[in-house]
Structure 1
Amino acid sequence: MKRVSTLFLRIAVVLMGIPILALCIFLVPNIGGFVGEMIPNIAYIQYFVIFYFHLTAIPFYFALYQAFKLLNYIDKNEAFSELSVKALKNIKYSAITISVLYVISLPLFYIVAEIDDAPGIIVIGLILIFACMVIAVFAAVLQRLLQEVNDIKSENDFTV
């Protein structure tokens, strides 16, 4: 049963990565071109937008890789190990990094929303930040829980 559930989660991790890759390949250049047309005074802004969205994809894929490693640890019965705690810590830091990058880009979201008269663009940026922070808090809670389990486990090993 455990192998089936981790297989399902591995498939889910891969399926989470595919749409982001498709967005980076197909949609992000269009968004960059759209922003370049919206702000013709700073035509090079489109390259900045493309670079910035691709920059946020790096910690996302790093977090997916760490989730994949965590599933490997679960399959090897090493779920309650220091390696699992480290993987969760890396996922937490990746989510925080993505949130910080989107917080930094919020002024750009605001400028585009003002020019296009579409306040929903700002809401999209805020939803991205909120979602990443929820993931970071969840990973931090799991990290602390696993750390406490590891501490209790090592304490019991010394007792025996």
Structure 2
Amino acid sequence: MGKVTTMFLKIAVILLGVPVLALCIFLVPELADVSVELLPEFGAIKVLVYMVFDASAIPFYFALYQAFKLLRNIDKNKAFSDLSVDALKKIKYCAITISVLHLLALPLFYLFAQADDAPGVVLVGLAVPFASVVIAVFAAVLQKLLQDAIAIKSENDLTV
């Protein structure tokens, strides 16, 4: 049962990367073009859009890799190890990085909302930073729980 579950989660982790890749390939160029139309006097806006959104894909894929490593540790019965704690720590930092990068792009969403007279666009812009912060907090809680479990396990190993 355990191997089947982790295999399902590994497939899910891999499939999570596909939509982000599609967004980076298809949606980011559109956002960059719209940004140039909204701010023609700011010539570097296109490069800025590419940098913020494509740069946030790097920690995203790194976090997916760390999740894959975490699942591999579970498969090897090494879930309660320092490797798992390190993977969770790296996932936490990646989530924080993604959140900060997308908060930097929030003024663009405000400009889109002003241009289209749609205030809900700003809320859409807040979705990714909010989700990233939730993931960072969840990873931090899991990291702390895992550290405590490892400490208890090592205490029990010493008493036996």
Shift of 1:42: 1.3
SS of 1:78 mapped into structure 2: coil
TM-score normalised according to structure 2 size:
0.95
Structure 1 stretch displaced more, 64-73 or 42-51:
42-51
Look up the equivalent residue of 1:47 and give its one-letter code: V
Name the counterpart of 1:96: 96
Whole-angstrom CA distance in 1 between matches of 2:40 and 2:86 = 45
Name the counterpart of 1:131: 131
Q: How many residues are paired up?
A: 160
Shift of 1:124: 1.0
Name the counterpart of 1:81: 81
2:35, 2:45 within 8 Å by CA — same for their partners in 1? yes
Look up the equivalent residue of 1:52 and give its one-letter code: V
1:93, 1:136 within 8 Å by CA — same for their partners in 2? yes
SS of 2:41 mapped into structure 1: helix
TM-score normalised according to structure 1 size:
0.95
2:6, 2:71 within 8 Å by CA — same for their partners in 1? yes
2:78 is equivalent to residue 116 of structure 1: no
List per-residue Cα deviations over 1:1-58 (Å, max 9, x = no partner): 1111111001100110001001101111111111111111113311210121001111
1:88, 1:142 within 8 Å by CA — same for their partners in 2? yes
2:57 is equivalent to residue 57 of structure 1: yes
Whole-angstrom CA distance in 2 between matches of 1:130 and 1:52 = 16
Look up the equivalent residue of 2:41 and give its one-letter code: N
Whole-angstrom CA distance in 2 between matches of 1:32 and 1:104 = 15
Look up the equivalent residue of 2:123 and give its one-letter code: V
1:9-28 to structure 2, matched below 5 A, reads: 9-28=9-28
Shift of 1:73: 0.1
Look up the equivalent residue of 2:23 and give its one-letter code: L
Name the counterpart of 2:155: 155
1:38, 1:116 within 8 Å by CA — same for their partners in 2? no
Structure 1 stretch displaced more, 5-14 or 113-122:
113-122
The two structures, once aligned, show a CA RMSD in angstroms of 1.1
For structure 2, which runs of at least 5 residues remain unmatched after alignment? none
Shift of 1:130: 1.0
